[in-house]
Amino acid sequence: MKAVILVGGKATRLLPITSNIPKAMVPVLNTPFLEHVICHLRRHRITEIILSIGNLAGPIESYFGDGSRLGVKLRYAIEKTPLGTAGGIKNAAGSLDEAFVALNGDVFTDLDITALVAFHRRKKATATIALTRVDDPTSYGVIGTNAEGRVSCFQEKPCPGEANGNMINAGTYILEPDVLAKVPPGAEVSIEREIFPGLLEQGAPIYAYSSSAYWLDIGTPEKYLQVHHDLLNGKCRQYVLDLRHEVTIGAGSNLHPSVRVTGPVVIGANCSFGRDVTLVGPSVIGAGCELMENSVVDKSVIWPDIWIGPRVSVKNSIVADRCRLNADSIVEESVLGCNVTVGGGYRIVPGSRLLAGTTVGDKP
């Protein structure tokens, strides 16, 4: 079976960390998010993958190439204009003549795709939609089913108190080629709002597959930080931290003997940590970072090539690549885009989101 991954979104909800990088390349545990998705498919013996790309395709193609490094075969389908979810799938998979997997490229999950495919075949479905349970369904597409799992209704982003349950569209589908015939070529069409409801009206067999798999849409900085905490705390089977080694240190990194680490913490390659640095997990430090004496990183995600000066404190925050945090500065519950400079002694107001290239406070 082949797969189509939709990776063409502009990722505006993830700003400012996606100002110069596509969402697919945002690092999760120091590895591009899309690499986790591809490796998950490969574990389920899906090795022919088509990437539907519309925004910032260059960095993705440059990094992944033909996919051979990851043991898969990649093909790229470029959208010249936005085509929506259904249009993007058709643009990428228009020549497929057998059932295939389609999935949104902004969801981290350990869904059992092998079981999903088996369910689809057993039900002889035209389309099968993976479901997940959420506490608040008002931001998602709610799907109602009968006792056999056949879809009975769709409810897109219901108002509070009006949802027909809390099982939502999890963004992973098994589709027969017949579905593509319903999508006009070159048009912007939503599979969730247009194609699936249309198939339902026509009586097509659409089924829903419920599971308790880990699932998280990483579309906001808050969720992006959460996925790191969840993965490091062992809440997802796709990445299980070896509890015998709660601290993972990349090649070439140098930690002063006085560094204090409370795991789980992942440290990238070629980092340098000075005297009395404190690291508190769950935290991730990217490659090539330098943390000076008495600095603190607590429950945060630090991207590559960050300079953190003496006595700097970073807590519950995301710091994108090539930032410079000067001595005695404080960053709490904030998001810093790339190339941000924080002046010495300056405190970032919690909840701040600093755009790429911003300078706040006085430089030393």
Q: Tell me which residues are annotated as active site.
A: 157
Contact 110, 236 (CB under 8 A): yes
- The string over 102-135, giving b where at least 16 C-beta atoms fall within 10 Å of a residue's C-beta and e elsewhere, is bbbbbbbbbbbbeebbebbeebebbbbbbbbebe
Q: Establish how many alpha carbons lie within 13 A of residue 114's alpha carbon, considering only the half-sphere containing its beta carbon.
A: 5
Report the distance separating Cα 136 and Cα 348, nearest Å. Answer: 31
Burial of 24 (0-12, 13-18, 19+ CB in 10 A): buried
Contact 192, 85 (CB under 8 A): yes
Closest CA to 179 of 76, 97, 83, 82: 97
Burial of 272 (0-12, 13-18, 19+ CB in 10 A): middle
Contact 362, 347 (CB under 8 A): no
Report the distance separating Cα 163 and Cα 153, nearest Å. Answer: 11
